[in-house]
Amino acid sequence: MKKILVTGGAGYIGSHTVVELVEAGYEPIIVDNFSNSEESALEGIAAIVGRNVTCHRVDCTDSKALREVFEKEQDIVGVIHFAANKAVGESVENPLKYYHNNVGSLVALLQVMEEFKVNKLVFSSSCTVYGVPESLPVTEETPVQKANSPYGNTKKICEEILTDVAASGSTLKSIALRYFNPIGAHPSAKIGELPLGVPSNLVPFITQTAIGMREQLTIFGNDYDTPDGTNIRDYVHVVDLAKAHVVAVERLLEEKGESLEFFNIGTGNGTTVLEAVKAFESATGVKLNYKIGPRRAGDVPKIYADVAKATEALGFKTTSTLEEAMKSAWDWQVSLKESTAKV
């Protein structure tokens, strides 16, 4: 089996991608320092795929430790790089942490990859690089704008690093996947989103409110220029997103495409926050306690993807509905409560 190194492989999107890699016949090798993830994710992965997956506890800014992984795991053919801090608010409060970790880890990884002649990389990027777009839906040709946060800026800088490496004549072939809003969990309810502390994303806050961990959900603003006044986002099921990484790896290994390519990964549909709440209630039968609050600083009013390029070049389309994603997120939240109750 072909070995794919997955940095941040115990995280939310990383763990789901590890499962999809195994099911596609690859041998994922996880690298994670567990600063933003839990080791229980490894147990969940093993329960789904029927075996343990190799994991190295390594910080990706540590070139020496990364080098040791490459030396030990012979014949790595490609890398998927998820490892990064991802909370917008925290990045505003502690920008140096984000630049050190998110940018520094990519630089260290690229240097070690070059040393070991591994030249296939899938990079975890974000639709935050589009800022507040002038027109919708956004395509890969939509101008990249000044970031709204240090987190968003790290993704923009990392894309620029990959662009410069590609222009340098390097043998590196890379694909940057610009995610929209990942939600949901594996249908087995054995892995899912596990935010540390108060969630900064909508869906885990919905599920935690529904199960009684949070008193109430606040929807930030209902006076935007949208059908019901609430923000519009493109919510993509995390399992669909994970599968996109597998097809991106396959494209790289088949030597297709340019030295650097960008792809939007979303559903192509815009959904308001209120529509997302109603979808959760419809999918689960659980009524949600929510209120309307003031707008939140830095929120983009509306954004959703044009996914034609991913469909044509990667042969990739999402298959899960919003309701299916919401139901899987709820099943995961219930399973967490049940497992905690057993302890």
Known catalytic residue at 151: yes
Decide if 112 contacts 66 (C-beta within 8 A): yes
H, E, C per residue of 267-335: CCCCEEHHHHHHHHHHHHCCCCCEEEECCCCCCCCECCECCHHHHHHHCCCCCCCHHHHHHHHHHHHHH
3-state secondary structure of 187: coil
Rounded-to-5 percentages of helix, strand, coil across the chain: 45, 20, 40
Find the DSSP H helices in 28-141: 40-49, 63-72, 88-93, 95-98, 104-115
Dihedral sign for Cα atoms in the order 140, 141, 142, 143 = positive
Q: Are strands 271-272 and 232-233 parallel, antiparallel or unpaired?
A: antiparallel
Active-site annotation holder among 130, 151, 235, 304: 151
Dihedral of the alpha carbons of 153, 62, 259, 160, in degrees to the nearest 10: 20
Task: Characterise 66 by phi-psi region: left (phi > 0), alpha (psi -120 to 50), beta (else).
Answer: alpha
Name residue 32's beta-bridge partners. Answer: 57
Q: Is 265 exposed, middle or buried (0-12, 13-18, 19+ CB in 10 A)?
A: buried
Place of tokens 């997955």: 6
Query: Which tokens hold the place of 342?
Result: 């057993």
Give the H or E element holding residue 123: strand 120-126
Catalytic positions: 151
